[in-house]
């Protein structure tokens, strides 16, 4: 696995080492030791799957309030998504900055997001699935979010959302 750091501390693109042969391919998708060697201590607490029927389904931007911040590793085993991380750590030099990655069944990659970074995505194909390794437990009372179209963040989405939850459309704007 290769770990590519980005301009947002803790947001790391993970590239898989894919072993191909006549049968197809094999890749290690998570390794505690390789993560630790890259300075990323990650303990898988929960894993989630998100199935999205329509193209241009937008989910997010979500995070859990401290002390329930949730590191996560996101991948797209089916279809294709435009995946976004937004730094909401007020003491971070990249506070309110965003970074996006195209993840797909063919990208052989995943994205690590640390606690304090909000996450969202828009699907670029129908029937796209998103897989999560979660470094903290889901705490419904701590789950919250920021608006996908908040001008204070200014995400340059590749498409307008066709499908969103009412909750995602109702988050308050950052002051
Ligand atoms: C996150 C979560 C949700 N749920 C229940 C709550 C609802 O009854 C249902 C759907 O939840 P929600 O609408 O929050 O699902 P998403 O909009 O896909 O939320 C996720 O999508 C964004 C992009 C993320 O990064 C988070 O992982 C997560 O917030 O699953 C659970 O039971 N456990 C969980 O860990």
Mean pLDDT of 22-39: 97
Continuous segment of H or E residues that includes residue 166: helix 166-169
pTM, two decimal places: 0.96
> How many angstroms separate the CA atoms of 74 and 77, rounded?
10
Quote the ligand 1 centre to 130 CA distance (angstroms).
11
CA of 37 to the centre of ligand 1 (A): 30
Residue 68 a catalytic site member: no
Residue 44 has pLDDT above 90, yes or no: yes
Distance 132 CA to ligand 1 centre (A): 11
Distance CA 1, CA 119 (A): 22
- Location of structure tokens 């993560």: 35
pLDDT per residue as tens digits for the range 102-114: 999 999 999 999 9
- Domain assignment of residue 8, given as a range: 2-147
ipTM of the complex model:
0.95
Q: Is 169 in the pocket of ligand 1 (CB under 6 A)?
A: no
Report pLDDT digits (tens) over 99-153.
Answer: 999 999 999 999 999 999 999 999 999 999 999 999 999 999 999 999 999 999 9
Check which CATH number belongs to the domain holding 12 and give it. 2.60.120.10
- On whether residue 27 sits in a domain, the answer given is yes
| Domain contains 127 | yes
Nearest ligand 1 atom to the CA of 168 is 17
Is 157 part of any domain?
no
| Partners of residue 12 on adjacent β-strands | 5, 112
Catalytic residue among 62, 95, 112, 131: 62
43 falls within a domain: yes
> Cα separation of 87 and 109, whole Å?
21
């Amino acid at each position: 696995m290769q770990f590519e750091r980005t301009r947002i501390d803790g947001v790391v693109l993970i590239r898989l080492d894919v072993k191909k042969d006549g049968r197809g391919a094999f890749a290690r998708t998570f390794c505690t030791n390789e993560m630790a060697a890259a300075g990323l201590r990650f303990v898988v607490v929960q894993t989630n799957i998100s199935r999205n029927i329509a193209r241009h389904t937008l989910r997010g931007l979500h995070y859990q309030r401290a002390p329930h911040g949730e590191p996560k590793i996101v991948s797209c085993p089916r279809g294709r998504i435009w995946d976004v991380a937004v730094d909401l750590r007020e003491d971070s030099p990249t506070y309110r900055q965003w970074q996006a990655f195209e993840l797909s069944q063919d990208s052989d990659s995943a994205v690590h997001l640390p606690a304090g970074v909000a996450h969202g995505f828009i699907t670029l194909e129908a029937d796209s699935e998103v897989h999560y390794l979660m470094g903290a437990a889901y705490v419904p009372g701590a789950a919250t979010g920021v608006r996908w179209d908040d001008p204070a963040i200014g995400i340059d989405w590749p498409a307008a959302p066709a499908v969103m939850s009412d909750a995602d459309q109702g988050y308050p704007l950052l002051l």
